[in-house]
Chains A and B, each alone.
Chain A
């Protein structure tokens, strides 16, 4: 499967270039114009990225979530769920790298084929970093009034996390 996935990007890129060549587009010129735009975009998103990474790191490094969840520990062990998987569920909408790190730890401690290993795999796949994406995308075009975007995104995350728990129980429990 991953072998097959390795072909996707090269085929995509080659397809675009060959098609453009066939259509007699000035390929190099087009690339440079687009690339310059990418450079401008990077500068536009810089403040939002730096601000968001700073705040998330401060929050995650304070280990506040672990503290919060230490109270749920007896309840969780009753169901055989290690404590680290709940912070992972909460961290998932905030930081992709942080949740990936927790997942890697779970794989190392319990193995990817354990119940928690599968649960962590599904949690990682069920949603994306909502808060970061919102800050980044709206920040890049300077939209500050985001209406119900955050509520909708977090609602989807919440349902996704619940679904990941239930589905893992149903399929692998």
Chain B
């Protein structure tokens, strides 16, 4: 599915750029296109290294396990296919918590680690499991309780009340997430029948 999107982006992007007479810009973009992704990777690298290091400490001290136990009652309802003591649960919970606090850059390392844990007992390595899909629906919905970046930008542009959008954006993100989870739930039920 990601393949179709990728092809769509490249083909439409290329044709439309040619169509609007910017062939030289297109040429340039294709030749140098990899460097933007590389820049993003370089920005992510220190964060990934730092956070996976810190989370390893949390794992070795059994703090992560403690945290998993705390959130397990809620998460096991969302992930019925996961065994109760699955190692991914702690990372899934950390990822959701980081997202909720608006710490997107910390959320990514937890999320990748969670996917790795889920992949370990996946019988078909090239196919997504139910738990993976539910996790990604939660993740792409991004329940942000404190949208830090938005608030910071509103402050920068002299908003008289930068935080007034917290309640409304939480409401919108909750509606979005619940609908995503429902969609996933219905699809899952259909597959079981």
A126 proximity list for chain B (CB < 8 A): 169, 172-173, 176
The smallest beta-carbon distance between A35 and chain B, in angstroms, is 4
Report yes or no: B128 in contact with A35, Cβ–Cβ below 8 A.
no
Q: Identify the closest chain A residue to B179 (Cβ).
A: A159
Report yes or no: B13 in contact with A16, Cβ–Cβ below 8 A.
no
Report yes or no: A149 in contact with B132, Cβ–Cβ below 8 A.
yes
Q: Choose among B26, B54, B152, B162 the residue with the greatest number of A CB atoms under 10 Å from its CB.
A: B54
B103 proximity list for chain A (CB < 8 A): 8-9
CA distance A9 to B97 in the complex (A): 12
Judge whether B165 is part of the interface by a CB distance below 8 angstroms. Answer: yes
Report yes or no: A61 in contact with B163, Cβ–Cβ below 8 A.
no
CA distance A169 to B51 in the complex (A): 39
CA distance A103 to B156 in the complex (A): 12
A88 proximity list for chain B (CB < 8 A): none
A61 proximity list for chain B (CB < 8 A): 13, 17, 25, 29
CA distance A58 to B181 in the complex (A): 32
Report yes or no: A124 in contact with B29, Cβ–Cβ below 8 A.
no
Q: How many residues of chain B have a CB within 8 Å of chain A?
A: 110
CA distance A142 to B181 in the complex (A): 24
B57 proximity list for chain A (CB < 8 A): 16-17, 20, 25, 27, 30-31, 34
CA distance A133 to B79 in the complex (A): 19
Report yes or no: B169 in contact with A149, Cβ–Cβ below 8 A.
no
CA distance A46 to B40 in the complex (A): 10
Report yes or no: A127 in contact with B53, Cβ–Cβ below 8 A.
no
CA distance A93 to B160 in the complex (A): 29
Q: Among residues 125 to 164 in chain A, which have CB atoms less than 8 Å away from a CB atom of chain B?
A: 125-131, 133-153, 155-157, 159-161, 163-164
CA distance A1 to B165 in the complex (A): 12
The smallest beta-carbon distance between A76 and chain B, in angstroms, is 20
Instruction: State the A residues within 8 Å of B (CB).
Output: 1-2, 5, 8-9, 13, 16-17, 19-20, 23, 25-27, 30-35, 37-39, 41-42, 45-46, 49-64, 67, 93, 96, 100, 103-104, 107-108, 111-113, 117-118, 121-122, 124-131, 133-153, 155-157, 159-161, 163-164, 167-168, 171-172
Please give 12 more A-B residue pairs, beta carbons under 8 A apart, in addition to A103-B150, A107-B157, A143-B125: A8-B103, A49-B40, A54-B37, A57-B33, A64-B16, A112-B157, A138-B132, A150-B5, A156-B183, A159-B180, A164-B169, A172-B168
